[in-house]
């Protein structure tokens, strides 16, 4: 026997003994309220479906992502009041309403919706997520709350319903002001003394001095004139973008950073990766920072092709601004994974003076190194050039949030 049933029974006994019809009517009302509350407590969440659908799982800073939430009461029992708290990682914004800070889960916001559902009723609401910050945003868990007619809590249930939205940094067009110089990495070879026999490029008319083994006999017989095989010139364009996670001067273990500078470096890395991949280079990424895994180094081996751009931006989306080691140790670590002859492009927002000895050692062992400094620091650039290290300044116009042109400059 529940408390409401016992109360109603007591009121009925008192009404019968005292002969008070009004109290007897109140007893019946109390019994009815207790019975219906018990129904909502036991069966309110039964056959109640909640669904969340993202328009896409990947976005870029500045994009708008569609979000649909649907609730479906698939039973004959109506629900006078249901609330759903859909938790999401802090940093995402919903255009239609403000997100509440969750009191239980740290660094989580709650998208709350309330409904009054009839029997077998389904309701869908449409929202728009504003991807204003780079990162990985986790959705879930979901808390469902059922209340009775007078607003008293009846039952609560938590469901996992995990989902994820990866917001990559913006990608801007790269404009090289110093056009007379070779681009970042190696200049793309158009001709050369050495040829790669695996890169067959077709045929060309026979020229005096061509060895007989280069003559394409089948094509010669078909065309009626002697032709020679042609191969693409051998070239190696392997570029590793080395991102300096530490954005302010001080010890590498310090828990402080410049958010604008770090976001600017991420935009620059993504933009340079696209430019290099469009030029036919094999591009990789390395950073001494945490990226949501157990590894202390965020590393992506170099590959060519446009699919690599998605891998680079995904890693940049997961990368945090806390350094896990020194930049010098990262460069040394890379020598065990990247062959000599590759290009190491260091993107940093602070003076590279501390890594000059490391960069000179890399140059001596056959690596091509270059430093891209975010912002104008003539003294740091001059010091790097005096040390024999190619260095340039780069700017993002107008800001990392609305970047349209990334301009490395001399």
pLDDT tens figures, 34-74:
566 677 778 888 999 999 999 999 999 989 999 999 999 99
Q: Is pLDDT above 90 for 315?
A: yes
Q: What is the pLDDT of residues 231-253, one digit of tens each?
A: 765 455 789 999 999 998 888 77
Out of 199-203, 285-289, 306-310, 337-341, pick the least confident: 199-203
Contact criterion met (CB below 8 Å) for 146 and 82: yes
Q: What is the pLDDT of residues 269-282, one digit of tens each?
A: 999 999 999 888 89
Q: Is pLDDT above 60 for 192?
A: no
Domain 48-168 and domain 173-187+236-409, same fold? Reply is no
What is the pLDDT at residue 69? 96
What is the pLDDT at residue 375? 82
Contact criterion met (CB below 8 Å) for 328 and 360: no
Average pLDDT (335-359) is: 93
Could you tell me the pLDDT band of residue 292, with boundaries at 50, 70 and 90? confident
3-state secondary structure of 295: coil
Neighbours of 386 (CB within 10 A): 10
Neighbours of 3 (CB within 10 A): 8
The residue behind tokens 């997961």 is 318
For residues 125 and 52, give the distance between their C-alpha atoms in angstroms, rounded to a whole number. 10
3-state secondary structure of 219: helix
Calculate the CA 106 to chain-centre distance: 20
Could you tell me the pLDDT band of residue 159, with boundaries at 50, 70 and 90? very high
For residues 164 and 351, give the distance between their C-alpha atoms in angstroms, rounded to a whole number. 37
For residues 251 and 248, give the distance between their C-alpha atoms in angstroms, rounded to a whole number. 9
Identify which has the larger pLDDT, 180 or 7: 7
What is the pLDDT at residue 151? 63
Which residues on adjacent β-strands are paired with residue 370? 345
Neighbours of 328 (CB within 10 A): 17
Contact criterion met (CB below 8 Å) for 67 and 96: no
What is the pLDDT at residue 249? 85
* Residue environment code for 236-259, b if the CB has 16+ CB neighbours within 10 A, otherwise e: ebbbbbbbbbbbeeeebeeeebbe
Query: How does DSSP classify residue 107?
Result: T
Neighbours of 112 (CB within 10 A): 14
Read off the tokens for 329. 């140790």
Mean pLDDT of the chain: 83
May I ask the CATH architecture of the domain 173-187+236-409? Answer: 3-Layer(aba) Sandwich (3.40)
* CB proximity list for 324: less than 8 A, separation 6 or greater: 245, 288, 289, 290, 296, 297
* CB proximity list for 4: less than 8 A, separation 6 or greater: 30, 31, 33, 34, 35, 37, 38
For residues 214 and 72, give the distance between their C-alpha atoms in angstroms, rounded to a whole number. 72
The residue behind tokens 């060895």 is 211
For residues 224 and 217, give the distance between their C-alpha atoms in angstroms, rounded to a whole number. 10
**Whether the model pTM is above 0.85:** no
Domain boundaries, the chain: 48-168, 173-187+236-409, 202-233
Q: Is pLDDT above 80 for 103?
A: no
Q: What is the pLDDT of residues 393-409, one digit of tens each?
A: 988 888 887 775 344 44
What is the pLDDT at residue 233? 53
Which residues on adjacent β-strands are paired with residue 143? 85, 158
For residues 40 and 31, give the distance between their C-alpha atoms in angstroms, rounded to a whole number. 15
Please report the beta strands in 74-226, taking only residues with DSSP state E, as ranges in sequence order: 79-89, 93-94, 100-101, 108-117, 122-130, 135-147, 153-159, 163-168, 173-174, 195-205
Q: What is the CATH number of domain 48-168?
A: 2.60.40.10
């Amino acid at each position: 026997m529940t408390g409401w049933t016992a109360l109603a029974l007591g009121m009925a006994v008192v009404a019968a003994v005292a002969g008070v019809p009004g109290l007897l009517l109140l007893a019946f009302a109390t019994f009815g309220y207790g019975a219906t509350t018990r129904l909502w407590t036991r069966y309110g969440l039964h056959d109640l479906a909640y669904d969340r659908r993202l328009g896409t799982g990947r976005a870029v800073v500045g994009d708008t992502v569609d979000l649909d939430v649907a609730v479906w009461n698939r039973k004959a029992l109506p629900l006078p009041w249901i609330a759903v708290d859909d938790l999401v990682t802090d940093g995402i914004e919903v255009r239609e309403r403000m997100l509440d800070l969750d009191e239980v889960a740290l660094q989580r916001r709650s998208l709350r919706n309330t409904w009054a559902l009839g029997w077998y009723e389904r309701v869908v609401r449409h929202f728009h997520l504003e991807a204003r910050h780079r990162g990985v945003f986790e959705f879930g868990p979901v808390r469902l709350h059922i209340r009775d007619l007078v607003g008293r809590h009846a039952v609560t249930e938590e469901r996992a319903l995990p989902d994820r939205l990866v917001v990559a940094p913006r990608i801007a067009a790269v404009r090289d002001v110093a056009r007379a110089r070779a681009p970042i990495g190696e200049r793309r070879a158009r001709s050369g003394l050495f040829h790669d026999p695996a890169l067959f490029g077709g045929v060309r008319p026979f020229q005096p001095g061509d060895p007989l083994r280069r003559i394409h006999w089948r094509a010669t017989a078909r065309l009626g004139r002697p032709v020679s095989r042609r191969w693409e010139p051998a070239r190696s364009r392997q570029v590793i973008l080395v991102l300096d996670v530490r954005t302010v001067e001080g010890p590498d273990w310090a828990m402080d950073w410049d958010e604008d500078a770090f976001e600017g470096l991420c935009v620059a890395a993504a933009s340079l990766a696209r430019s290099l991949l469009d030029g036919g280079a094999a591009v990789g990424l390395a950073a001494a920072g945490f990226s949501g895994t157990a590894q202390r180094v965020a590393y992506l081996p170099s590959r060519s092709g446009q699919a690599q751009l998605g891998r680079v931006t995904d890693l940049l989306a997961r990368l945090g601004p806390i350094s896990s080691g020194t930049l010098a140790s990262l460069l040394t670590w890379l020598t065990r994974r990247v062959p000599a002859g590759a290009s190491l492009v260091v993107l940093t927002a602070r003076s590279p003076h501390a890594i000059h000895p490391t960069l000179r050692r890399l140059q001596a062992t056959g690596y091509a190194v270059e430093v891209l400094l975010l912002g104008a620091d003539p003294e740091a650039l001059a010091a790097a050039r005096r040390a024999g290290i190619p260095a340039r300044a780069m700017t993002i116009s107008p800001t990392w949030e609305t970047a349209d042109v990334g301009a490395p400059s001399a």
